[in-house]
Amino acid sequence: MKLQIETIRIKDFQFGASTEYRDGTLYVSRGDILDFVRQESCFDPEAFNIAIARPGDSVRIINVVDVVQPRCKVSGGIDWPGVLSEEQQIAGSGVTRVVEGVGLTLCQNNTYWSRKWGSYDMNGECAAINPYARMPQLVIEPLTSADTDFRAYREAVRRVGFRIGVLLARATLGTVPERVELLDNENRVPGLPGIAYSYQIYSKQYDTHNYREPMVYGNAVPDTFPLVMQPTEIMDGAISPCGGFRCVTTYEIQNHPIIMELMRRHGKDLNFAGVIVTVTSVEAKHRSLVAKMAASLLREVLGADGVILTKGVGGASTLDVGAIASEAEKIGIRAVPIIQILNGKSNLGVECLISEPNVDSIVCSGTYYHNFTLAPVETLLGGPKDALYLSGDDGVIEGHRIATGDPAVGQVRSTYMKQVGLMSQIGYSYGKAVDY
């Protein structure tokens, strides 16, 4: 499958009377955004906060559940099949317009659980290594009544964010793209090793109230067996989070660094054999079967000589990745898992959770619970001005609706995994774990 990506990089981002791209500046109309809001019955346009945060601003954004890059289809498909329409098409072919230099940060105030959202600052120590703090962000904070069904709310937040992203990208279509790249791994070059990617997208162990995130073409896949998907399909709208930040954002999936790297090296020093998609098994019996099925697909369908594996949040996810890697090694496929460890006060040997002796090459891209202090800020976005900051270690009461913590606008203690953009499970970050 071939996907052509047309990219334009904007110089500035502003509110305007109409949504348009002019002289290097992308303007967005509040009225256009509110038109999307009115399509969702759970939102009140009068209680829908919209703001722009800029690099260097004394701004903290809380209740973050996703960051999205503006993109739209030019030809060969539809935008976000299964999410923005009931129509289903397979993503990953044709031409897609991409806008660099701005992001859409989606917040929600109905998360039920302190571990379900993240935050980030636009200035300070963490901002220096945060890709999202390096560009203007359109921050969307939809308020809703307390009795709104949280499932409907989550999915409405995603739809509004995706529609805005499509709107912004379409505004640039009259401009010649600055860069055009063709992603194509259809033909293999004899003599080069075949490298596949095993992408674990989801774990139901952190679901709220038994809600299964509709992540694949708008559908939930809590117990699915391994799937073979096209690399371009994943980047072009087939997969997206819904309602919970788990150290990966839609922006990262749209720019998936592992897939992009393998695509760009295809036919040069390797053949990109393809992608299998998995979900976390929370039962040992299911884990064993998934691992054997994944390894079989890698060899029999993709013809892989090696595989890179990434995981979702949590210890069970790490066990799954280790099991797949071990089964792959048993049949002659070299496997390299990329993981994150939980306890920064321990060491990699203890915390990596992968004990299979034949899995002897592991990459660690960060530590979930590395703690640090953030300075006070002048402006708080994504929540009420008196909101409390949920560090991830705070307690929760009354059905997970209220959490203890310090005032979010002041000095707060945070953890690495709570900072959106600092640690990515698929490698879209600058952090790493170091044993010392």
pLDDT tens figures, 279-293: 988 888 889 999 999
Instruction: Write down the pTM of the prediction.
Output: 0.93
Contact 382, 119 (CB under 8 A): yes
Please report whether residue 266 resides in a domain: no
Contact 422, 249 (CB under 8 A): no
Q: Which of 347, 317, 346, 350 is nearest to 337 (CA)?
A: 317
Please report whether residue 131 resides in a domain: yes
Please report whether residue 350 resides in a domain: no
Question: Could you count the other beta carbons within 10 Å of the beta carbon of residue 358?
Answer: 11
Is 60 exceeded by the pLDDT of residue 398?
no
More confident site: 145 or 331: 331
Pairing of strands 194-202, 306-310: parallel
What pLDDT band is residue 33 in, cutting at 50, 70 and 90?
A: very high
**What is the structure's pLDDT at 343?**
67
Long-range contacts of 34-38 (CB under 8 A, 24+ apart): 36/159, 36/160, 36/163, 36/164, 36/167, 37/142, 37/160
Please report whether residue 105 resides in a domain: yes
Contact 93, 184 (CB under 8 A): no
pLDDT per residue over 81-133, tens digit each? Answer: 999 998 889 999 999 999 999 999 999 876 544 445 789 999 998 899 899 99
Is 90 exceeded by the pLDDT of residue 357?
yes
Q: Which of 243, 210, 220, 241 is nearest to 109 (CA)?
A: 243
Q: Rounded to whole angstroms, how far apart are CA atoms 128 and 113?
A: 28
Please report whether residue 364 resides in a domain: no
Q: How many domains does the chain divide into? A: 1
Is 90 exceeded by the pLDDT of residue 5?
yes
Is 70 exceeded by the pLDDT of residue 427?
yes
Please report whether residue 190 resides in a domain: no
- Output phi, psi for 129, to 5 deg: -120, 20
Contact 228, 275 (CB under 8 A): yes
- Sequence-separated (6 or more) residues with CB below 8 Å from residue 46: none
Q: Tokens in use for 210?
A: 């038994």
Please report whether residue 155 resides in a domain: yes
**What is the structure's pLDDT at 411?**
93
pLDDT per residue over 308-336, tens digit each? Answer: 999 987 788 899 999 999 999 999 999 99
Domain membership of residue 130 as a residue range:
2-180
More confident site: 29 or 142: 29
Q: Tokens in use for 159?
A: 């739809």
Q: What is the DSSP letter of 408?
A: T
Please report whether residue 267 resides in a domain: no
More confident site: 115 or 354: 354
| Crossing angle of helices 284-296 and 315-330, rounded to 10° | 40
Q: Rounded to whole angstroms, how far apart are CA atoms 111 and 206?
A: 12
